[in-house]
Amino acid sequence: MNQPLRRLLLSPRTLFVLLLSGIGVVGGGYLAGEMTPLLFPAQASAEARQVDDLFRFLMIIAGAIWFLVQGLIVFAIIAYRRRPGDDADGPSWHGNRLLEFVWTFIPSVIVFVLVVFSYQVWVDITTPKADENQVLGYDVVPVFAEGQQFAWRFTYSVTLPDSGREIKVVSPSLHTFVGQNVHLTMETADVIHSFWVPAFRIKQDLLPGYTTDVRFTPTLATEVVWENGEPVHHGYPIVCAELCGSGHGSMRSQVIVHATESDFVESFLQPEIDFIINPPTDPVLIGQKLLADNVYGCASCHTLETPHFSWDGNQAPVLNGIGTRASLRIAGYSAKDYLLESLGNSPAFLVPGDWPAVMTVFQAEDSTLATYMPLGDQQAIAAYLCTVTADPDAEPACEIELSAPTSLDAPEAASEAS
Amino acid sequence: MATASLPIRQEPRISAGLPRVGEFMRWSVDHKIIGVQYMVVALSFFFIGGILAMLMRWELLTPDVDFFGDGAVYNSAMTMHGTIMIFLWVIPMIGAMGNYVVPLQIGARDMAFPWLNAFAFWIIPPAGILMLLGWLVGPAEAGWTSYPPLSLLGHDGQLLWAVSLHLLGISSILGAINFIVTILNMRPEGMPLFRMPLLCWAVLATALIIVLATPFLAGALTLLILDMVAGTSFFIAAQGGDVLLWQNVFWFYSHPAVYIMVLPSMGIISEVLSVHSRKPVFGYRMIALSSMSIALVGFTVWAHHMFTSLTPELRIPFMITSMIIAVPTGIKIFSWLATIWGGKIHFTSAMNFALGFLSLFLIGGLTGVIVGSVPVDIHLHDTYFVVSHFHFTLYGGGVMGLFAGVYHWWPKITGRMLNEGLGRWHFWLTFIGFLWTFLPQQIAGMMGMPRRVATYDPSLLIYNQLSSLGAFVLGASALFFFYNLGWSLARGRVAGGNPWRALTLEWATTSPPPPLNFYEDPVPYPNPYGYGSDAAREYLDEQQRRFPAALEAPTDEGSTSASLATQPAGTSAGSSAGTSAGQQQ
């Protein structure tokens, strides 16, 4: 560096400007970091808190670097713009060893710090915790998530403390409670999906041929609104983050975080267990339950609006009023025959229209295959669909008796079907 | 510093004239014609890919699927947008820049293998058409990454997609071999590697990546095609295959491909920033070596695309390598900053785009460090934050650099200047439209919007509408660019041999250069960026006398060289009128 430049750099005015810029850069970085809570959804898990702290730290560093470099760019284009009439070249500077060392060394140190901090957080949020999946009165209740085009399904394996009987509670949304250390194992029925809960800052792919898992501890209960004496939960969204086909964007569900453990047991787990232990005999109610649990993923493709359901799938035919229409579709088929055939042998009738999704061809023979749907389930779902008439007050279009056990009767079968 | 090396007292020469249009439509082994062919094809696909982007943003104006009517149609648009922009716009455009400029910069008469060069180009148009034909048989819908098993369930268009990509990969490899041989063997005396223009360093680094990485893409595609047509099950888990095999091999190519797309633009930026701020490149050796180290380290980071699918124990090593790559990138950014520092910045369109590159690529780099951190990426992976991040690097970096290159070398290619007024419109609309499009996407991603969706949570509406409006501005900016190209061909001012008074060899001939490029054996100026010395000024004055924009100017020799010396032509549409070139308007 030449003499005049050296003198300029050390003048009080320059030092003042440098100091001011330094404060600006650091302050800018700090402000950028403080924006963190504005940029994320609710911070609802222990992991989210750690990830957000790490993100804030990254934002402070990145923000400061941004203010520094962008500030220098703006300064340079103002200070070193060519003045009119000035056609000389700039000074012939080719490099400076010290400067080049500084801007190699300092970023290296920053990178080192970021790696160490990130590693610590990573170890923290992935280490198995004590008492995973513990539920009051039931010991460990493992949770299993399954993704399929384009639906989520969660299965709780409950061992009844008195009888030792194992039952599977199936739910289309994930229920947990504040403070539960959840360890979720996951598999996919078809293509790759990715389980993402933005409020928890966790994500893990579901890969064919692999069982993957993810851990989290909710810290913030979801909102409950009471409508007509019934609790309506506004859960945290579960989003599929890996492209999985035409309905990828609508492959959503929700995590319902109950405020307390007893709340979780009383308002979710116990009623589900009771339903399985003492299943209703009315096939319509059984069908309704199967559809509500989304055991066969119908909700993601079909539209169905009844007092019990509000599906808005646009991949497959609309089911509203199907009971009424069923008998009109194919000559010689009653509503009952049509519905049963559609469930057990879906390619038999194709509804006119260009529907993107092709329905799974379910079968009742081999319970080891993913396409297994026990005959009883087919009959129960058909029985419920009989009640879905064009006029909500009309009599059911058909009545179907169960001639075989449903998956609610035989929990083992249900687990294999999933 | 040696003095001017051009033989003195040669006759002035005006443009060799553009080849006839027909020359560009048929097989030619002239690297300049091939370069233009690459450019025309690339720009055509840029237009198609851009239209697809506009349609996607139109769909995303509302949370529901309405415009496309079906998520599958959106998926096909998204898949083709990504594939076209990467494989049929940015990479061929690099072929265009490299082909036209590199042989000229190293004073060569042509590429080392002219026939191979033409062959590599002529693979591209049929491959591109094959890709588009997918729409006739059911298009590819699995994204440009085409993860099996989803891609195996697709229509026949997915097969066409794979075959087309295979062909494009072959084209890439053949082109890259040619670049390596040309750059290493055909430099003139007086140009050792470390006196080579930085674009050549960047193209060399890029070509090395292509030769080493693209065979892995070919391998992955071969397995995918076999799974589709031959009943194999490399990626089918139920039959013993492994879906992660594809992800590993695909990203072993496709992450280095990110550097394939951005390194040449970094080379262009090094040229443009130095020439248009009239200062030597600061830290030449470090910039050259950082290109090489990026190329090298770039091979060790691929699995950071798999932070949510990779075995958890392997995630940390890939975080470390991914973060390390920020260091050579930082060296480049600071070196560029030091290059313009203290210079005389001419705000030409080329310079505007180069400065825009600095601002936007900076954000791309910083967001890259953020998604490089495993715990944070667990949340951000496969969201719009990532979409925004890679557009900041590949559009804000790669494409801004390519635009800078077009504005810089268009006068050499066509012999005519672009319109600086239109260029400014193009720049500012691009710059503002870009930030307007991609900053809201960052927030959308953090708030919970996954990528590749046609429908989203209504709470994300505002970010998407903002982004779409920005995208339409960005789309409109490209129209100014295309119009400018046409305007220049029809009415552009004659450029002369060296409108920017640059020291590299491509300017030491007429614009456009004659067949075989030079009128006598070119002698490189000892330092390709030796601005600010009397020797450089004398060299450039003599060059401007030899390759003027017009013959009419000289009255007496002294005044001519004085006026040429004080007027770097084409600094802007307004200020350029004083040069001898300016009278050609």
Does residue B349 contact residue A171 with C-beta atoms inside 8 Å?
no
The 3-state DSSP class for residue B570 equals coil
B66: closest chain A residue by CA? A314
CA–CA distances in Å: residue A351 to residues A358, B66, B71: 11, 22, 20
Residue indicated by tokens 């023979």? A365
- Between A90, A198, A205, which is nearest B448 by CB? A198
Other Cβ atoms closer than 10 A to A410 = 16
Q: Is residue A91 part of a domain?
A: no
Determine whether the interchain pair A198/B369 forms a contact, defined as Cβ–Cβ distance below 8 Å.
no
Domain that holds residue A39: 9-81+96-126
* Integer Cα distance of A93 and A208 in angstroms: 58
A52: closest chain B residue by CA? B376
Residue B564: pLDDT band by 50, 70, 90 thresholds? very low
The 3-state DSSP class for residue A132 equals strand
Q: Are residues A61 and A104 in the same domain?
A: yes
pLDDT for position A8: 65
Among A322-326, B82-86, B175-179, B580-584, the least confident range:
B580-584
- Between A95, A239, A356, which is nearest B450 by CB? A239
Q: Is residue A1 part of a domain?
A: no
Q: Are residues B401 and B524 in the same domain?
A: no
pLDDT for position B8: 52
- Between B312, B376, B536, which is nearest A51 by CB? B376
Phi, psi of A177 (to 5 degrees): -145, 160
Is the peptide bond prior to A150 cis by the omega test (within 30 degrees of 0)? yes
Determine whether the interchain pair A69/B333 forms a contact, defined as Cβ–Cβ distance below 8 Å.
yes
Residues contacting A393, CB < 8 A, separation 6+: none
Q: Are residues B263 and B318 in the same domain?
A: yes
List residues bridging with A238 in a β-sheet.
Answer: A253
**Torsion of the alpha carbons at B201, B207, B208 and B209, rounded to the nearest 10:** 110
Residues contacting A227, CB < 8 A, separation 6+: none
Determine whether the interchain pair A207/B345 forms a contact, defined as Cβ–Cβ distance below 8 Å.
no
Phi, psi of A202 (to 5 degrees): -125, 150
Q: Are residues B482 and B528 in the same domain?
A: no
Q: Are residues B187 and B211 in the same domain?
A: yes
Q: Are residues B197 and B139 in the same domain?
A: yes
Q: Is residue B12 part of a domain?
A: no
Mean pLDDT in order along chain A per 10 residues (418 residues): 63 86 91 89 95 95 95 94 91 90 95 96 93 90 94 93 89 95 95 96 96 96 85 92 94 94 93 86 86 83 82 83 83 84 82 77 83 87 87 81 79 44
Residue B536 contacts A, CB cutoff 8 Å: yes
Q: What is the pLDDT of residues B527-550, one digit of tens each?
A: 999 999 999 999 999 988 889 887
C-alpha distance from B475 to closest chain A C-alpha (Å): 25
Residue B458 contacts A, CB cutoff 8 Å: no
* Integer Cα distance of A32 and B482 in angstroms: 38
Residues contacting A78, CB < 8 A, separation 6+: none
Structure tokens at B309: 């699918």
Q: Are residues B431 and B565 in the same domain?
A: no
Question: Which DSSP letter does residue A363 get?
Answer: B
pLDDT at B562 over 60: no
Concatenated DSSP letters of B11-66: PP-----PPPHHHHHS----HHHHHHHHHHHHHHHHHHHHHHHHHHHHHTTSSS--
* Integer Cα distance of A126 and A123 in angstroms: 5
Give B213 or A383, the one with higher predicted confidence.
B213
Length of chain B: 585
End-to-end CA distance of chain A: 73
Q: Are residues A186 and A288 in the same domain?
A: no
Mean pLDDT, residues B92-108 taken together: 96
Q: Is residue A373 part of a domain?
A: yes
Other Cβ atoms closer than 10 A to A180 = 22
Q: What is the pLDDT of residues B349-393, one digit of tens each?
A: 999 999 999 999 999 999 999 999 999 999 999 999 999 999 999
* Integer Cα distance of B585 and B34 in angstroms: 29
* Integer Cα distance of A200 and A219 in angstroms: 9
Residues 298 through 317 of chain B touching chain A, CB cutoff 8 Å: 308-309, 312, 315-316
* Integer Cα distance of A180 and A211 in angstroms: 22
Estimate to the nearest angstrom the gap between the alpha carbon of A79 and the chain centroid.
Answer: 50
Domain boundary among B426, B460, B491: B491
Chain A CB contacts of B238 under 8 Å are: 208-209
Domain boundary among B435, B461, B491: B491
Cβ-Cβ contacts under 8 Å between A and B: the total is 273
Q: Is residue B21 part of a domain?
A: no
Q: Is residue B579 part of a domain?
A: no
The 3-state DSSP class for residue B11 equals coil
Chain B CB contacts of A66 under 8 Å are: 362-363, 366
Residues contacting B454, CB < 8 A, separation 6+: A249, B59, B60, B65, B68, B71, B74, B75
Q: Are residues B294 and B181 in the same domain?
A: yes
Q: What is the pLDDT of residues B291-335, one digit of tens each?
A: 999 999 999 999 999 999 998 889 999 999 999 999 999 999 999
Domain that holds residue B551: 505-571
Q: Are residues A30 and A47 in the same domain?
A: yes
Give the mutation candidate from A74, A205, A303 for the B interface (greatest B CB count, under 10 A): A205
Residue B535 contacts A, CB cutoff 8 Å: no
Other Cβ atoms closer than 10 A to B104 = 26
Among A16-20, B252-256, B421-425, the least confident range:
A16-20
Of B86, B103, B395, the C-alpha closest to B256 is: B86
Q: Are residues A269 and A326 in the same domain?
A: no
Count of domains observed in chain A: 3
Residue indicated by tokens 């091999």? B249
Q: What is the CATH number of the domain that holds A389?
A: 1.10.760.10
Q: Are residues B517 and B487 in the same domain?
A: no
Phi, psi of B36 (to 5 degrees): -70, -40
pLDDT for position B552: 53
Q: Are residues A41 and A115 in the same domain?
A: yes
Length of chain A: 418
Structure tokens at A92: 């012939």
Residue B366 contacts A, CB cutoff 8 Å: yes
Does residue B197 contact residue B528 with C-beta atoms inside 8 Å?
yes
Question: Which DSSP letter does residue A308 get?
Answer: S
H-type alpha helices, B148-301 = 156-185, 198-229, 243-276, 284-297
CA–CA distances in Å: residue B226 to residues B147, B163, B530: 15, 11, 55
Q: Is residue B265 part of a domain?
A: yes
Q: Is residue B500 part of a domain?
A: no
pLDDT for position B34: 97
Residue indicated by tokens 């009653």? A334
Chain B CB contacts of A202 under 8 Å are: 378-379
Q: What is the CATH number of the domain that holds A212?
A: 2.60.40.420
pLDDT for position B551: 64
C-alpha distance from B332 to closest chain A C-alpha (Å): 10
Q: Is residue B5 part of a domain?
A: no
Concatenated DSSP letters of A232-261: EEEPEEEEE-S--STTGGG-EEEEEEESSH
Q: Are residues B465 and B396 in the same domain?
A: yes
Q: Are residues A322 and A235 in the same domain?
A: no
Does residue A268 contact residue A293 with C-beta atoms inside 8 Å?
no
* Integer Cα distance of A346 and A331 in angstroms: 17
SS in 3 state form for B55-85?
A: HHHHHCCCCCCCCCCCHHHHHHHHHHHHHHH
Q: Are residues A192 and A232 in the same domain?
A: yes
Q: Are residues A285 and A274 in the same domain?
A: no
pLDDT for position A367: 82
pLDDT at B582 over 80: no
**Torsion of the alpha carbons at A42, A47, A49 and A53, rounded to the nearest 10:** -120
Domain boundary among A246, A278, A310: A278
Does residue A126 contact residue A177 with C-beta atoms inside 8 Å?
no
Structure tokens at A50: 């750690």
Residue B330 contacts A, CB cutoff 8 Å: yes
Question: Which DSSP letter does residue A392 get?
Answer: T
Determine whether the interchain pair B341/A76 forms a contact, defined as Cβ–Cβ distance below 8 Å.
yes
Phi, psi of A167 (to 5 degrees): -130, 155
pLDDT for position A392: 75
Residues 397 through 456 of chain B touching chain A, CB cutoff 8 Å: 443, 446-448, 450-456
The 3-state DSSP class for residue A286 equals helix
Does residue A101 contact residue B324 with C-beta atoms inside 8 Å?
no
Q: Are residues A41 and A166 in the same domain?
A: no
The 3-state DSSP class for residue B223 equals helix
Q: What is the pLDDT of residues B493-506, one digit of tens each?
A: 999 899 999 999 99
Q: Are residues B457 and B513 in the same domain?
A: no
Residues 143 through 182 of chain B touching chain A, CB cutoff 8 Å: 143, 147, 149-150, 153
ipTM comes to 0.90
Structure tokens at B98: 């490299």
Phi, psi of A173 (to 5 degrees): -120, 160
Q: Are residues B553 and B412 in the same domain?
A: no
Q: Are residues A161 and A293 in the same domain?
A: no
Q: Are residues A288 and A411 in the same domain?
A: yes
Residues contacting B447, CB < 8 A, separation 6+: A39, A40, A41, A198, B459, B460, B463
pLDDT for position A9: 67
Q: What is the CATH number of the domain that holds B68?
A: 1.20.210.10
Residue B291, burial from CB neighbour count under 10 angstroms (0-12, 13-18, 19+): buried
pLDDT at B556 over 80: no
Q: Are residues B543 and B470 in the same domain?
A: no
Domain boundary among A278, A298, A324: A278
Does residue B16 contact residue B514 with C-beta atoms inside 8 Å?
yes
Determine whether the interchain pair A239/B448 forms a contact, defined as Cβ–Cβ distance below 8 Å.
yes
List residues bridging with A372 in a β-sheet.
Answer: A363
Q: Are residues A184 and A113 in the same domain?
A: no
Determine whether the interchain pair B323/A111 forms a contact, defined as Cβ–Cβ distance below 8 Å.
yes
Does residue B271 contact residue B199 with C-beta atoms inside 8 Å?
yes
Domain boundary among A242, A259, A278: A278
Mean pLDDT (chain B, rounded): 91
* Integer Cα distance of B260 and B204 in angstroms: 10
Domain boundary among B456, B491, B526: B491
A73: closest chain B residue by CA? B337
Residues contacting B133, CB < 8 A, separation 6+: B157, B160
Q: Is residue A90 part of a domain?
A: no
Determine whether the interchain pair A76/B340 forms a contact, defined as Cβ–Cβ distance below 8 Å.
yes
* Integer Cα distance of B486 and B171 in angstroms: 29
Count of domains observed in chain B: 2
